[in-house]
Amino acid sequence: MQKNNKNNNTKGSGEWAVEAKGIVKTFGENRAVDGVDLQVPTGSIYGVLGPNGAGKTTVIRMLATLLRPDAGSASIFGHDVVKEPHIVRQLIGVTGQYASVDESLSATENLMIFSRLLGLGKAEAKKKADELLEEFGLTEAAKRPLKHFSGGMRRRLDLAVSLIAQPPLIFLDEPTTGLDPRTRNQMWDTIRRLVKSGSTVLLTTQYLQEADELADRVAVIDHGQVVAEGTVNELKASIGTSSLHLGVQHDRQMQDARLIVERVLNVRSTVSTEGGKITAPMADVDRMTDLLIALRESDIQLAELSVQKPSLDEVFLTITGQGAGSSDEINNKSEKAVEV
Amino acid sequence: MDSTQIKPAHERKLRNKTSFRQSVRNSFIMAIRGLIKIRRTPEQLFDVTLQPIIFTLMFTYIFGGAISGDVQSYLPVIIPGILVQTVITTSIVTGVQLREDMDKGVFDRFKSLPIARIAPLAGALLADSIRYTIATVLTFTMGYVMGLRPEGGLGYVLIAALLVIGCAWAISWIFAFFGVIARTASSVQGISMIVLFPLTFLSNAFVPAETMPDWLQWFVKINPISHLVTAVRDLINAGSIGWDFTLSLVGAAIIVAIFAPLTVRTYMRKA
Ligand SMILES: Nc1ncnc2c1ncn2[C@@H]1O[C@H](COP(=O)(O)OP(=O)(O)O)[C@@H](O)[C@H]1O
Ligand SMILES: [Mg+2]
């Protein structure tokens, strides 16, 4: 989807929507962003994946001219974020991690004020507001104060505001964190539509599955550094496989079951000591059908069965050789997302 | 969104500066936002509605007899005093609310838009002028109800009102500066009160300077608040524009000249 316009050599026609070289941001002793390089091709969805506190928001804030990098340089469509901030602001839309709309105004008033700030006349602004409300399914709630908005409605309004000027590059900081699955899917659809209409999207996420669903390329960041970069498939190949967990109803069938699993999947399995569960790596989920049929044919009754994708923790384990900086909380979150 | 294709970056006309006209426009729209907010939460107007009413009643009846012999002849002295005190105190709110606003997510949005950087500040300050106007109108109305008949006539009352509102606007830049540098809204309130309390009371707002000890008179006479109060008294009671009027305007201009750039610069560096 990259646009290589050969006839146009002017500044800003380059293929990179975002190009960051070694950007650094230090808060006191804490190097929140520690030399990040990014190259986002025009017309793509680019995912920045990382756990809480990895530095995702800080990266976005620097690229969106909200924070000045301490070192390194970054440009948006060839325009330097420090030297030409005003131009950069004409090319971007930013939807922050926390609602960046006006809490004390209604949805319509928010859209109107921001439209007018962007130079639209009163009538145009009204038209734009109505259009966007309609498009994001907020017409019903247009006049209500934002206090009574759900998380999903707020996010939608937030995104709607970012789209007023139809910017060619949109930053979305954790656009689906805290949304229920249905709203999250709607958000994904919206993001895909955006890219179809010619925008470039840079989004951050804590969820592997989200990056998987949306992003053409992904940068995994941890402790302020890019620890892996590539297409989703490249990344997946590097993080290993899902694992099968299987329990049988009658303990005496355990050994049989284990043999069948090993035979069908052609792998080695382990039995966990406490629960009496069989665990085996599962490269190809499609083999599941064969496995189930084989188990039924041998009259083995199952007590439980699950396939777990690698958690974000495992991704980090594989990529960095050490656990993701923080806690189980992240791990749980990512598993939850994967299961949905 | 499906039908309209987004214009690629290199086909857009881009400018790295905001024009003066755009800055003014942006500021006015930010002011409209401020007004909508006031309309949404009218309770934040308590200070500008209650203070003029209560203070006028209280001060007039407490000090009236002692200072001017009777309430009626005290009114021309006290109303300008209360007017200046109330409106100037109101300008603290600008700093407090600015701090609150800046801590909210929406300020990030403002900073990411291609608008004049000064607009969120200027707009907030502009919208607050409506508060000063309310306080001014109420104070004069209270005065009128209690029997004040300004000798200068309505025209000069109007000029006096504009003068006070203009000076309050200028002074609000100081509190806006506190708002930008302070960490919390309540600390803005605290610092501002410490600065303003002595300034308004150690002036000729309620009591003529001549009744004070020499060392205090010295301060009261150089206190800019005193000059503003005197300017208002001259205007409404005599219909005259004097030296104090000029001094007040010059003072206001100096405050804006110092604090507007300082505040804007600090605000942008923090951004
Ligand atoms: N304004 C700030 N002041 C001090 N520390 C900050 C600030 N913003 C972020 N940090 C720190 O920088 C690190 C990265 O934060 P952030 O970019 O928000 O991570 P993420 O968005 O990936 O969760 C964290 O350790 C955070 O505490
Ligand atoms: Mg974040």
Residue A23 sits in a domain of what CATH number?
Answer: 3.40.50.300
A138 inside domain: no
| Ligand 1 atom having least distance to the Cα of A59 | 17
Bridge partners of residue A200, in order along the sequence: A169
Same domain, A173 and A71: yes
A111 inside domain: no
Which position has the token pair 């629960």? A275
A125 inside domain: no
Same domain, A231 and A253: no
How many CA atoms lie less than 13 Å away from B229 in the CB half-sphere? 30
Q: Which among A194, A154, A193, A160 is positioned nearest to A176, based on CA atoms?
A: A154
pLDDT band (50, 70, 90) for residue B2: very low
Same domain, A170 and A69: yes
Interface test with A, best of B21, B23, B29 (most A CBs within 10 A): B29
> Order of strands, edge to edge, in the sheet holding A242-248?
A270-271, A278-282, A242-248, A302-308
The Cα–Cα gap between A327 and A166 comes to: 39
Instruction: Report A:94-123 residues touching B (Cβ under 8 A).
Output: 94, 96, 98-105, 109, 113-114, 116-119
Residue A9 has pLDDT above 50, yes or no: no
- Give me the percent of chain A exceeding a pLDDT of 90: 47
The Cα–Cα gap between A187 and B20 comes to: 39
Q: By alpha-carbon position, which residue is closest to atom 16 of ligand 1?
A: A55
Task: Name the strand (E) or helix (H) holding B263.
Answer: helix B243-270
B7 inside domain: no
CA A56 to chain centre: 11
The Cα–Cα gap between A33 and B211 comes to: 64
B158 inside domain: yes
Min mean pLDDT across A238-252, A253-267, A323-337, B103-117 is at A323-337
Judge contact between B74 and B56, C-beta under 8 A.
no
Can you list the positions of beta strands (E) in chain A? 16-27, 30-41, 45-49, 71-76, 79-80, 92-95, 169-173, 200-205, 217-222, 225-231, 242-248, 270-271, 278-282, 302-308
A62: Cβ contacts below 8 Å, ≥ 6 apart: A20, A23, A25, A33, A68, A69, A74, A81
CATH no. for residue A287?
3.30.70.980
- Average pLDDT value for chain A: 83
Question: How far does A104 lie from chain B, in Å, by closest CA?
Answer: 6
How far, in Å, from the CA of A55 to the mean position of ligand 2?
Answer: 7
Phi, psi of A38, rounded to the nearest 5 degrees: -140, 140
Q: What is the pLDDT of residue A321?
A: 55
Q: What is the pLDDT of residue A54?
A: 92
B163 inside domain: yes
Question: Which residue type is seen at A55?
Answer: G
Task: Name the strand (E) or helix (H) holding A204.
Answer: strand A200-205
| A205: containing domain | 8-104+145-237
The Cα–Cα gap between A263 and A273 comes to: 22
Q: By alpha-carbon position, which residue is closest to atom 24 of ligand 1?
A: A53
Q: What is the pLDDT of residue A328?
A: 36
Handedness of CA A328, A329, A334, A338 (dihedral sign): positive
Q: Which of A188, A214, A237 is the last residue of a domain?
A: A237
Q: What is the pLDDT of residue A13?
A: 47
ipTM confidence score? 0.80
B10 inside domain: no
Residue of A23, A29, A30, A202 best suited for mutating to test ligand 1, as the one with most atoms within 8 Å of CB: A30
A7: Cβ contacts below 8 Å, ≥ 6 apart: none
Residues in chain A: 340
Phi, psi of A328, rounded to the nearest 5 degrees: -65, -30
Instruction: Report A:122-151 residues touching B (Cβ under 8 A).
Output: 135, 145
CB A329 near ligand 1, within 6 Å? no
**How many separate helices (H) and strands (E) can be counted in chain B?**
10, 0
Q: By alpha-carbon position, which residue is closest to atom 1 of ligand 1?
A: A27
Q: Please state the rounded mean pLDDT for residues B157-175.
A: 93
Q: What is the pLDDT of residue B72?
A: 85
The Cα–Cα gap between B4 and A336 comes to: 37
Instruction: For residue range A17-43, list pLDDT tens digits in order.
Output: 999 999 999 999 999 999 999 999 999
Interface test with B, best of A9, A94, A100 (most B CBs within 10 A): A100
pTM > 0.90: yes or no = no
Same domain, A196 and A67: yes
Domain count, chain A: 2
- For A153, the token pair is 């409605």
Q: Please state the rounded mean pLDDT for residues B53-73.
A: 85
- For B65, the token pair is 């007899």
pLDDT band (50, 70, 90) for residue A319: low
- For B33, the token pair is 């936002």
Q: Which residues on B lie below 8 Å from A75 (Cβ)?
A: none
B4 inside domain: no
Q: Please state the rounded mean pLDDT for residues B86-100.
A: 87
- For B151, the token pair is 């000798």
A128 inside domain: no
User: What does R_g of chain B's alpha carbons equal in angstroms?
Assistant: 21
The Cα–Cα gap between B14 and B28 comes to: 23
Same domain, A192 and A223: yes
| B95: containing domain | 20-269
A232 inside domain: yes
In three-state secondary structure terms, B17 is coil
Q: How far is CA B25 from CA A92, B145, B154, in A?
A: 21, 39, 32
